Amino acid sequence: MPAASAGAGRGSGRAGQGSGRAGQGSDRAGQGSDLAAQIGLVARGDAAAFDAVFEQIGPSVFGVVKRVIRDPAQSEEVTQEVLLEVWRNAAKFDAGRGSATAWVMTLAHRRAVDRVRSVQKEYERERRLAAADIPYDEVTEAVESSLERERVRRCLNSLTEVQRESVTLAYYRGYTYGQVASLLGVPTGTVKTRMRDALIRLRDCLGVAE
């Protein structure tokens, strides 16, 4: 009887663990569903929804990008580009083709790989420069890539100093709104307002349709 009781206890423990794992899975599913809903709101120009998307997915985007690029500074820049792409192209997300998290992570991985390839191609172009053997298509691609990055930088520079400071800390440094507020010595609500205004100005500057 004691052996049977112990076996039953172990079985109950395993069942409890299984239930815990099921609960965790349910939580993750709920988070994914919430992210999809927030992206749907972002597609309609809801900057507050983008705040929520950033809080939920921003650190994971940086992690994916950094694993590919390695370089922290470039990883921060590409993370900024990915989040701006989510803001600009949220309407392209199709829940029928996969989860919101998978969609954002795919954007992040693609951007990171593109940056690595761009850096590699730039190195190769410089190596061949002495021979003046530079294919036209590669020059075109390099110019377009450089212009896109310059466009983002120009739009960031169009922000006010306080807006740019908030965006830099949140996107380039990966701080949460609460951490940004603490660093700047202002209320979290003020940081969110700055970020919302900055996103609207960036959207206008980048020529994204409402």
In a domain, 27, yes or no: yes
Residue 185 to residue 120: CA distance in whole angstroms: 42
Q: What is the span of the domain harbouring residue 58?
A: 20-157
Q: In three state form, how does the secondary structure of 152-204 look?
A: HHHHHHCCCHHHHHHHHHHHHCCCCHHHHHHHHCCCHHHHHHHHHHHHHHHHH
pTM, full prediction: 0.52
In a domain, 142, yes or no: yes
Amino acid at 112: A
Predicted pLDDT of residue 21: 44
Residue 137 to residue 115: CA distance in whole angstroms: 17
Per-residue pLDDT reduced to its tens digit, 8-48: 344 444 444 444 444 444 444 455 568 999 999 999 999 99
Answer for the pair 139, 178: CB distance below 8 angstroms, yes or no. Answer: no
In a domain, 53, yes or no: yes
In a domain, 175, yes or no: no
User: How many structural domains are present in the chain?
Assistant: 1
CATH of the domain at 36: 1.10.1740.10
Residue 118 burial (CB count, 10 A): 15
Predicted pLDDT of residue 103: 95
- pLDDT confidence bin for 191, thresholds 50/70/90: confident
